[in-house]
Structures are given as structure tokens and as C-alpha cells.
Amino acid sequence: MAGYLIGFLALAALVSAIAGALRAGGKRDMAAAPKAHSRPIYHGLNAAIWTGVPAFVFLLLWLLFQNGVIDALVLASYPGSDQLSGPQKDLLISEIRQVASGNIFREPTPEVNAAVEHLKSLQSLATWAMVALVAGIVALGAFFGFRVIEHRYRARHSVERSVTWFMMFSSLVAILTTAGIVASLVFEALQFFARVPVTEFLFGLRWEPQIAIRADQVAGQGAFGMIPVLFGTFVISALAMAVAVPVGILSAIYLTEYASQRFRAVVKPMLEILAGIPTIVYGFFAVLTVAPAIRSLGQSIGVDASPNSAMAAGGVMGVMLIPFISSLSDDAFAAVPRAMREGSYALGATKGETIRKVLLPAALPGIVGGVLLALSRAVGETMIVVMAAGLIAKMTLNPFESVTTVTVQIVTLLIGDSEFDNPKTLAAFALGLVLFLITLGLNLIALRTVRKYRERY
């Protein structure tokens, strides 16, 4: 229904744009004497904005609140609902909704049936009210939009003002997104900390979140200490960095300093392909090929490698980060002034000496910034570790063993059953908050390093 309404709004706006433009054009011809302020198209656009935008905003708000209001009304009329707790209410509402949409798992009670009838009547009422109100607002808007059409009316100013408002709102979306991220993470994390003490979460050494959701489930007691998870994250990130940093910097050195123009033109885009491959593809590749290879490597040197070893996940992640480090190092080398390079050559240094002793130190802040950005990506990378790393939080530095990461835990905790009143689910948001803060910190440090370096030359 909402989809049709949006279509209808677009059509109505189009019609009033054309009608408004025609009407303005006609009026100008008739009056002819004084010069009109705006061209007819602006009168049309103005009419279209009046017709479409208020109704569209209203429709969005209506859709946002409709379900909540209907649920509240249904619950209010349900006998004995004021004694129920919050989660019980959620359960009841979802049962009523299930029955209403025809998924009956057990014979509903008469009260539920009554509530279903109530829900259905409210829903059809809400739909009709929505259609009627939107139509009314369209009519009203169109009336105003057309009434102001007059040859001295400054339609262009009005349209441009609306456009400016839209642009201002759009640029606020970035802030709203960040605010939404912070608000949702903090809100859910606070709920988590109401159930699990902050100190246990921050300093606990055991992570066993698979607690019972229902009373009859067999599950662990639950322990929510994030240190082992964080430890695993840094083990895998360190492995990734051990692959990505040397390979990335060396390939950047070769491409900028040694390679011919043609070699560079061919190889650089091929390296960039590595950055464009979706991470789930890397994850599948890690499971399919790299992990078995590392297992047999471990066997050949007499180490018992786990099937989802940290090395498989970290190594593949490192390859994913190569183009990232390579292109940032490339930029850093390019930013070193020519004079420094040529001064070194003039003193008789070889190319290799110039690179190691002049270029690298001069480009170091830029490279460090790039490495930090890559590290923040490694910490936040999800799909490779979800597929290739383990689920059990272990404190081990052995790269052949399996460790888990923050992102793996977030995904596994939230796939499947997710009720918002459960420490298991809420723990994911607390981990998300930690992840957000770590990556934010790394990014800010990295950007600052890069900026400082830029000021030097």
C-alpha cells in the first residue's frame, strides 16, 4: 500500500508540475504587460513541491509510528495485559501478529482471537486513514501550490529555498548516522552492563556467551570477559599485518622506483583487484584452500594445526590489505620532494640506498598512517574471520591454533535467535561499541599522523 502511495505522490507531483507550468505560462501570456519574475517551469516545480513533499514526509512519519501505535492499542484492549512484563508483552504481540498473518502453530485462545480481530480491524482502519490523510494533504498542498501562481510571485526563490533545505538536511545525514551508531550502541551496551558488570566485561578472562535462552536449554553458565576475544582479534590482525606490511611496502617501492611505466600501468590495476574482491570470497577461499594447506604444512613440520587456524584467517586478510598499504605507501613516496631524492643521487648513493635511507624515513609518517588505517580495517574485518576463524575464545599466540575475534562474536551472537532482553544479544552491542571505539581511535591517530606529515613539506 505504501509503495502505491509513493508512486501516487510522484505522479501527483509530476502532474502538478506540468499543470503549474502551463498555468503560469498561460497567465503570463494573458497579463503580458509586466515582466514575470520566474519562468513557468519554476511555478510548476513549486506546485510539485507543495503537492508532493508534505504528503511524503507525513507518509514516512505515519509508517514509522503506525505499528507501534497499533501494538499499543491492541495490548491495551487485551484482558489482563497491564500485569504483563515487557518481554511477555513482546511475546504476546508477536503471537497475535503471527496468527493474524495465518501462521498458526497452536490453537489460539479466545482472547488471542479477539485481539487478532481487533488488530485486523485497526490495520485496515489505519490503511484507509493513511490513504485518506495522504490524499487530503496532497489536495491541500496542490491547492496552496496553485493559489500562489501569479506572475509577480517569486517561484524560483521558493524552489531554491526548498532545494537548499534538502541539501542541508542531506549533509546532516552523515552526522545523524554517526549519532545513530553511537546512540544505538551505547543504549544497548548500557542495558548489557545493567545485567553484567562493566568490570567483568572489561577485565574478565573468560568468554563463554552461549547461555540458555529458554529455561529448558542445556548451555553454559555464561561468562562475559572480553579480554580473550580482544586478544584473538589482535593475534589475527598482527598476522595480517605481518603479511600485508612487508609485501605492500616492497611492492610499492618496486612499482614507484624500479618498474617501467608499462609494467606499472599493468600491475597496479591488477593489485587493485585484490581490494575489490568481496571479503566473503576471501573467506570462502580461506576455508576451501588456505586452511587445508596450512594444516598439511603444520603436519609436515610436526605441529597439529587447527582446521580454522588463526594463520589461515590472518594470512588471507593480509593479502586483502596489500593493495591498501601499497597504494598509501605509493602516495607517501610520491609526496617526498624531488630535491631530496636527487640530492641523494648526487652524493653517489645507489637507488637502493636512496630508497632505504632517504625515501623511507621521509615517507615514514605517511606509511605509518597507512598501516594504522589498514590495522583498523583488519580489526573491523568480518566475513573472512567469520568463515575462517574459530568460535572459542582462547588466549594463545600459536598461529596454528584457532582464536576468535570481536567481529566473529558479534555475528555469531546475533545470527539466529535474537531477543533484545538477553545478555547474549546485548553482549554483541557491547562488543560493537568496543570495536567502534578501537577503529575510531586508530583512524583518528592515522589521519593525524598523515596530516602532520603533510605539513612538513
Partner 1 sequence: MSAVSDSFTPSSPTGPVDWKSGAMAGRRKARYAADRRLQIYGMVAIAFALGFLATLIGTLTFTGYRAFTQTMATVEIDLSQAEIDRSDIMGANWRNIVRDALVAQLGEDLAPPQQRDYFGLFTSSAPFLVRDAVLRDPSLLDGPARFVIPMSDPLDQLAKGQVNTDLPENQRRVNDRQVEYFQQLEQQGLISRPFNWGLFFNADSRFPELAGLAGAISGSFWLLLVCFLISFPVGIAAAIYLEEFAPKNRLTDLIEININNLAAVPSVVFGLLGLAVFLGWFGLPRSAPLVGGMVLSLMTLPTIIIVTRAALPSVPSSIREAALGIGASKHEMIFHHVLPLAMPSILTGTIIGLAQALGETAPLLLIGMNAFITSPPAGVFEASTALPTQIYIWADSPERGFVARTSAAILVLLGFLVVMNAIAIFLRQRFERRW
- 146-165 positions binding partner 1, by CB under 8 A: 156, 160, 163-164
Closest CB to partner 1 among residues 32, 163: 163
Residue 234 identity: F
Distance CA 56, CA 43 (A): 20
Q: Among 81-89, 229-237, 329-337, 412-420, which window interacts with partner 1 (CB under 8 A)? A: 412-420
Distance CA 100, CA 118 (A): 10
Binding to partner 1 (CB under 8 A) within 258-277 occurs at: 258, 267, 270-271, 273-274, 276-277
Q: Does 10 bind partner 1 (CB under 8 A)?
A: no
Q: What is the DSSP letter of 83?
A: G
Which of 143, 144, 166, 203 contacts partner 1 by CB under 8 A?
Answer: 166
Residue 416 identity: G
Which of 144, 352, 364, 448 contacts partner 1 by CB under 8 A?
Answer: 352
Q: Does 358 bind partner 1 (CB under 8 A)?
A: yes
Distance CA 170, CA 190 (A): 30
Q: Are 294 and 309 in contact (CB under 8 A)?
A: yes
Closest CB to partner 1 among residues 253, 332: 253
Which of 101, 103, 170, 217 contacts partner 1 by CB under 8 A?
Answer: 170
Distance CA 397, CA 232 (A): 8
Q: C-beta of 35: minimal distance to partner 1 in Å?
A: 13
CA torsion sign for 58, 60, 65, 70 is: positive
Q: C-beta of 198: minimal distance to partner 1 in Å?
A: 19
Find the radius of gyration of the CA atoms of the chain: 31
Q: C-beta of 351: minimal distance to partner 1 in Å?
A: 6
Which of 373, 393, 403, 427 contacts partner 1 by CB under 8 A?
Answer: 373
Residue 171 C-alpha cell reads as: 549533509
Closest CB to partner 1 among residues 139, 281: 281
CA torsion sign for 391, 392, 398, 400 is: negative
Q: C-beta of 143: minimal distance to partner 1 in Å?
A: 26
Q: Does 41 bind partner 1 (CB under 8 A)?
A: no
What is the total count of residues that contact partner 1 (CB under 8 A)?
97
Which of 30, 175, 218, 301 contacts partner 1 by CB under 8 A?
Answer: 175
Distance CA 51, CA 58 (A): 12
Q: Report the SS3 class of residue 38.
A: coil
Q: Does 102 bind partner 1 (CB under 8 A)?
A: no
Q: Does 124 bind partner 1 (CB under 8 A)?
A: no
Q: Report the SS3 class of residue 396.
A: coil
Q: Are 294 and 394 in contact (CB under 8 A)?
A: no
Q: C-beta of 26: minimal distance to partner 1 in Å?
A: 23
Binding to partner 1 (CB under 8 A) within 383-402 occurs at: 383, 386-387
Q: Does 381 bind partner 1 (CB under 8 A)?
A: yes
Residue 126 C-alpha cell reads as: 489505519
Q: Among 75-83, 134-142, 232-240, 243-251, which window interacts with partner 1 (CB under 8 A)? A: 243-251
Closest CB to partner 1 among residues 138, 255: 255
Which of 146, 224, 231, 285 contacts partner 1 by CB under 8 A?
Answer: 285
Question: Helix 310-334 to helix 227-253 angle, to the nearest 10 degrees?
Answer: 40
Distance CA 388, CA 201 (A): 25
DSSP-assigned states of every residue in 148-201: T--TT--HHHHHHHHHHHHHHHHHHHHHHHHHHHHHHHHHHHHHHHHHS-HHHH
Q: Among 143-151, 229-237, 330-338, 440-448, which window interacts with partner 1 (CB under 8 A)? A: 440-448
Tell me which residue of 271, 265, 380 sits closest to 329, measured CA to CA: 271
Closest CB to partner 1 among residues 100, 435: 435
Residue 222 identity: G
Residue 175 makes CB contacts below 8 A (sequence gap 6+) with none
* Strand (E) or helix (H) holding 208: strand 207-208
- Residues 198-237, one symbol each (x = binds partner 1 by CB under 8 A, - = not), give ----------------------------------------
Residue 273 C-alpha cell reads as: 583487484
Binding to partner 1 (CB under 8 A) within 297-336 occurs at: 319, 322-323
Q: How many CA atoms does the CB half-sphere of 254 hold within 13 Å?
A: 11
Q: C-beta of 185: minimal distance to partner 1 in Å?
A: 6
Binding to partner 1 (CB under 8 A) within 61-90 occurs at: 64, 67-68
Q: C-beta of 224: minimal distance to partner 1 in Å?
A: 17
Q: Among 12-20, 51-59, 297-305, 372-380, which window interacts with partner 1 (CB under 8 A)? A: 372-380
